[in-house]
């Protein structure tokens, strides 16, 4: 039976399916029955490869939120151990090796992203933190091979998608990376023993790893476990979720402001609004259906609701309202405020002003000066609300907008706005 044809009885599976969190499942009917029988524990692992998670990880965080909302226990597995190996599942080359201090700093940053979404504490539904370094780093090599290696055949492992892809493309796959499948399966088994965990979530690229853990628990413990993957989230135009010209859409406020975060969701493509409302907000489905049905210019109202709701979940309703107000002032009223993103440009040694290409490049709205020249020549850029067409035109310091003393830079008529501030 396909997931689409299955009619769930448990709140957990129903909500996961309705909200778009299910792509593949090892045993959806069995999971449905287990969820009806009482609270179950489920986990997702997050390696510490950056100082924050970004929007690309948000569907997994929201999956854990759905788990808790429907009366079950989320486990956030921090990959203090597996980060030292690097998950090769969705990569075409090995990750750079990180040191202990960098991994610890990244773990601290990543933890903050979960606090707005989950309630941590004791009890059957309280979320818990776990670090797989606690057990993986204690395993001796011989013990690891004996306890886990005997349950995995090379025949099956070389058929995993990421292994086949590397081999077919003649790209190197280190023996260290090859071991990642066993390490993730060991995580699931250890969480099963320590916390009674019977469910692992992950992205679609994790399917082979998840099945390996489900199979290991069956072989070693004779117990039933389940795996569910979410679909890969891309935009309607095919872009990877969370990547923009300005870089990754980080969840930590010091790396991505509430205003920038709000603006990211406001700029959602029309075709994605309904799907993103289901995945990334708690709005009722009937309200989402109404918003999805808006046509023409009215779809912009749905995008504002998406931006408000998504930003409220991460940064709180006050920050969301402030961001929305700043956007309204900038786009509808022509005003500027300190809530808008501000970038610096050097003033020293430039007594008159700076060229349009330098101002645009400093804004971060382009990735190179050649791109800046092309956009300016194509009349796609506004500085201080005026279209500019000459990359060499000097915008004088006496044109700074007061009281902030900045240049207002905008892509197109409705594109992103960034303030560029001169510094000595």
Bridge partners of residue 240, in order along the sequence = 234
Residue 236 to residue 144: CA distance in whole angstroms:
44
Give the list of residues 6+ apart from residue 381 with CB closer than 8 angstroms, or none. 356, 360, 365, 372, 375, 387, 388, 409, 410, 411
Instruction: State the pLDDT at residue 95.
Output: 62
Closest CA to 422 of 398, 399, 405: 405
Looking at residues 114-142, what average pLDDT do you find?
91
Residue pLDDT, tens place only, 152-203? 777 777 777 777 777 777 776 767 677 778 888 999 999 999 999 999 999 9
Q: Which of 158-167, 309-318, 368-377 has the lowest mean pLDDT?
A: 158-167
Instruction: State the pLDDT at residue 1.
Output: 45
Q: Alpha carbon 95 to chain centroid distance? A: 18
Give the N- to C-terminal CA distance of the chain in Å, as an integer. Answer: 67
Q: What percent of the chain lies above the pLDDT cut of 70?
A: 93
Looking at residues 72-101, what average pLDDT do you find?
78
Fold classification of 342-423 is: 3.10.290
**Contact criterion met (CB below 8 Å) for 421 and 406:** yes
Looking at residues 57-73, what average pLDDT do you find?
97
**pLDDT exceeds 80 at position 403:** yes
**pLDDT exceeds 80 at position 4:** no
Domain residue spans in the chain? 11-230, 257-331, 342-423
Q: Which of 99-108, 257-266, 326-335, 342-351 has the lowest mean pLDDT?
A: 326-335
CATH of 11-230, one of 3.90.1010.10, 3.90.226.10, 3.40.50.620, 3.10.20.90: 3.40.50.620
Rounded mean pLDDT of the chain? Answer: 89
Structural tokens at position 309: 């709701």
Burial 309-323 (b: 16+ CB within 10 A, else e): bbbbbbbeeebbebb
Paired sense of beta strands 226-230 and 24-25, if any: antiparallel
Structural tokens at position 229: 């993957």
Residue 387 to residue 389: CA distance in whole angstroms:
7
Residue 25 to residue 8: CA distance in whole angstroms:
13
Residue pLDDT, tens place only, 257-289? 999 899 999 989 999 999 999 999 999 999 999
Decide which of 136 and 265 is more confident.
265
Instruction: State the pLDDT at residue 164.
Output: 74
**pLDDT exceeds 90 at position 376:** yes
**Contact criterion met (CB below 8 Å) for 55 and 213:** no
Burial class (CB in 10 A: 0-12, 13-18, 19+), 245: exposed
**pLDDT exceeds 70 at position 87:** no
**Contact criterion met (CB below 8 Å) for 30 and 226:** yes
Task: Show contacts of 370-374: CB within 8 Å, 24+ apart.
Answer: none
Q: Which homologous superfamily does the CATH classification assign to the domain defined by 257-331? A: Tyrosyl-Transfer RNA Synthetase (1.10.240.10)
Calculate the alpha carbon distances from 49 to 82, 89, 105 in Å. Answer: 10, 14, 10
pTM reported for the whole predicted model: 0.82
Residue 76 to residue 63: CA distance in whole angstroms:
11
**Contact criterion met (CB below 8 Å) for 380 and 412:** yes
Calculate the alpha carbon distances from 238 to 113, 253, 263, 357, 392 in Å. Answer: 26, 27, 20, 29, 35
Instruction: State the pLDDT at residue 127.
Output: 97
Residue 152 to residue 256: CA distance in whole angstroms:
42
């Amino acid at each position: 039976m396909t997931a689409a044809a299955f009619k769930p009885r448990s709140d957990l599976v129903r909500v996961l399916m309705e909200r778009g969190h299910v792509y593949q499942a090892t045993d959806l009917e069995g999971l449905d029955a287990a969820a009806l029988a009482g609270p179950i524990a489920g986990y997702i692992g997050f390696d510490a490869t950056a100082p924050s998670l970004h929007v690309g990880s948000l569907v997994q965080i929201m999956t854990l939120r759905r788990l808790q909302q429907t009366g079950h226990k989320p486990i956030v597995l921090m990959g203090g151990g597996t980060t030292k190996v690097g998950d090769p599942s969705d990569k075409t080359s090995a990750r750079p090796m990180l040191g202990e201090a960098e991994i610890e700093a990244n773990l601290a940053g990543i933890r903050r992203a979960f606090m707005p979404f989950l309630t941590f504490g004791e009890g059957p539904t309280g979320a818990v933190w776990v670090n797989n370094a606690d057990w993986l780093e204690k395993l001796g090599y011989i013990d690891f091979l004996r306890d886990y290696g005997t349950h995995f055949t090379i025949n099956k492992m070389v058929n995993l998608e990421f292994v086949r892809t590397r081999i077919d493309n003649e790209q190197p796959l280190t023996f260290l990376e090859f071991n990642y499948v066993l390490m993730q399966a060991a995580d699931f088994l250890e969480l099963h023993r320590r916390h009674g965990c019977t469910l692992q979530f992950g992205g679609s690229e994790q399917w082979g790893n998840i099945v390996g853990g489900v199979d290991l628990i069956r072989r070693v413990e004779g117990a039933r476990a389940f795996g569910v993957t979410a679909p890969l989230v891309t935009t309607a135009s095919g872009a990877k979720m969370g990547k923009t010209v300005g870089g990754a859409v980080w969840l930590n406020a010091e790396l991505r402001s509430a205003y920038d975060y709000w603006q990211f969701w406001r700029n959602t493509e029309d075709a994605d609004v309904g799907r993103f409302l289901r995945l990334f907000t708690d709005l009722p489905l009937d309200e989402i259906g109404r918003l999805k049905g808006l046509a023409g210019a009215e779809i912009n109202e749905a995008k504002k609701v998406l931006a408000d709701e998504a930003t409220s979940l991460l940064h709180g309703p006050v920050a969301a309202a402030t961001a929305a107000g700043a956007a309204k002032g900038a786009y509808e009223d022509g005003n500027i405020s300190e809530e808008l993103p501000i970038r610096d440009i050097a003033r020293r040694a430039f007594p008159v002003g700076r060229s349009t290409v330098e101002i645009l490049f400093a804004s971060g709205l382009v990735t190179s000066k050649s791109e800046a020249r092309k956009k300016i020549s194509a009349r796609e850029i506004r500085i201080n609300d005026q279209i500019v067409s000459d990359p060499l035109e000097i915008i004088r310091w006496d044109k700074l907008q007061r009281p902030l003393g900045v240049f207002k830079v905008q892509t197109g008529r409705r594109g992103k706005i960034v303030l560029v501030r001169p510094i000595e």
